[in-house]
Structure 1
Amino acid sequence: MQKLLSRLRKAVTDYNLIEPGDKIAVGLSGGKDSITLLKLLNAYQKFSPEPFELLAITIDPGAGSNFSPLTEMCQELQVPYYLFKTHIQEIVFDIRKEKNPCSLCANIRRGALNDNAKKLGCTKVALGHHKNDAIETLLLSMFYEGRINTFLPKTYLSRADITVIRPMIYIDEQQVISLAKKEHFPIVSNPCPANGFTKREYIKNLTYDLEKDIPGLKNNLLNALSNTEQLNIWTKEEKES
């Protein structure tokens, strides 16, 4: 826990993720990542040099999951908890009948999370994306879209008038898995029909396989994301008319 807190604090410091007076909503899906983020921020709040409020929001996509374990956990942590029910699964699978549902589902869930956080007076929304997520997003973008792109540690969304932060970008997924097992997290299972059968899952497995042959692969890729001084990409020269 202390190692993870140290890495979270470094991310907060490096990218100025938390400012005095912030009211931060953690997007609590019930998975290992979001539970880890909530527990880390709850612990960090006790010694943070920047005083801030913390609450948790769950967006129920309407898949029949039982979120009562999250209610109990938040009560133990003394973190205000809000559950908002939606019809996202019905929209994505029954009405739209999406063949590639993940992008649409994620966009609707993020919109619902941001809107409800704003209504609750929050200045920031914290998401549980870790180091592996950043790397997987980078590789997905390169392999399937032909561009170098991944999410940012901190993003201001002008339409929603809220800032999204990702305090776990320096934390490895294996550390999250170990903590979840050690502390017996009340993980809520994901009943989504597409769970485990996505391009992201393929890329995730690929990175684990590659790291067996290339030790330090994930750290090198993460470092490349912030190494702007040695960014060398092709630029086309404008022709004189």
Structure 2
Amino acid sequence: MKLQQLLSLTRKAVDTYHLIDEGDHIAIGLSGGKDSLALLYALHGLQRFYPKKFSLTAVSVDLGMEGFDLTPVTKLCKELGISHHIIKTQIRQIVFEERKEKNPCSLCAKMRKGALYNAVKELGCNKVAYAHHKDDFIETMMMSMIYEGHFYCFPPKTYLDRMDLTIIRPFLYVEEADVIGFKNKYHLPVVKNPCPADGATKREYIKQLIRTINHENPGTKTRLFTALINGHIPDWEDQNE
């Protein structure tokens, strides 16, 4: 995928769900993975011509995992003229050593978000951009139905009143395959996730399940996304009006 195509899909989500307002200071949650690096490129590109002016800051949360080196990511941010802030934490130690969590993802995510939100508030940001793509939305919807028994998915835009922060997800219309193509074409400096739980989660199981169903019934993934968009989920209502 070329940058222009990525920008077009990103702007479609931004315009449809009113994700960016004049004067926004947006923090990009930069994990070092392919998705967040592609989002960095996309919002940097959008910033150059979007009619509403906004500023960008990149923020990464260091969980304290051995071998986690964000030097290539910091270098890319510098090339793009975006400041990069790394938040050091002891989340790995707490989750895996002190708590010895059997299902660590929930606690890790909660602590990671807490560290991120506190940091971006100190940096003066009013919005946080996550790189959840179309496949993430579909997988979250499926997980909600299978494991929780209700039809739900996080919306493209969420206001956190306790933190006075707005979460935006500009990659709603971008497929994971597009991100992979973009990563390969532009040689993104992806930092491997050193988490011992990576690849052994319920989300990974659902991802493979959807892949199998879509292979056996071509077009299933597209229909699932259509069901999500038209599903009248309460948190999504009125966001595109």
Q: What TM-score, normalized by structure 1, do the two folds share? A: 0.93
Q: Distance in 2 between matches of 1:115 and 1:230?
A: 29
Residue 25 of structure 2 is aligned to residue 31 of structure 1: no
1:190 matched to which residue of 2?
A: 193
The higher-RCO structure (CA 8 Å, 6+ apart) is 2
Q: Distance in 1 between matches of 2:233 and 2:43?
A: 33
> Alpha-carbon deviations, 1:92-138, whole Å to 9, x = none?
11111111011111111111111111110001000000000011011
Q: Distance in 2 between matches of 1:40 and 1:209?
A: 30
Q: CA deviation at 1:228?
A: 4.2
Alignment of 1:213-224 (within 5 A): 213-224=216-227
Which portions of structure 1, spanning 4 or more consecutive aligned residues, are displaced by more than 4 angstroms?
A: 228-231
Q: Distance in 1 between matches of 2:217 and 2:109?
A: 32
Q: CA deviation at 1:209?
A: 1.5
Residue 149 of structure 2 is aligned to residue 146 of structure 1: yes
Identity of aligned residues (%): 52
Alignment of 1:1-241 (within 5 A): 1-64=3-66, 65-228=68-231
Q: Distance in 2 between matches of 1:174 and 1:99?
A: 31
Aligned residues: 231
The farther-off stretch of 219-228 and 125-134 is: 219-228
User: What is the identity, as a one-letter code, of the residue corresponding to 1:152?
Assistant: P
User: What is the identity, as a one-letter code, of the residue corresponding to 1:51?
Assistant: K
> Alpha-carbon deviations, 1:169-210, whole Å to 9, x = none?
110000001111111111111111101111100111111111
The runs of 5 or more residues in structure 1 that have no matched partner are: 232-241
SS at match of 1:206: helix
Q: CA deviation at 1:230?
A: 11
| Bigger CA radius of gyration | 1
RMSD of the TM alignment (CA)?
1.4
Q: CA deviation at 1:15?
A: 0.5
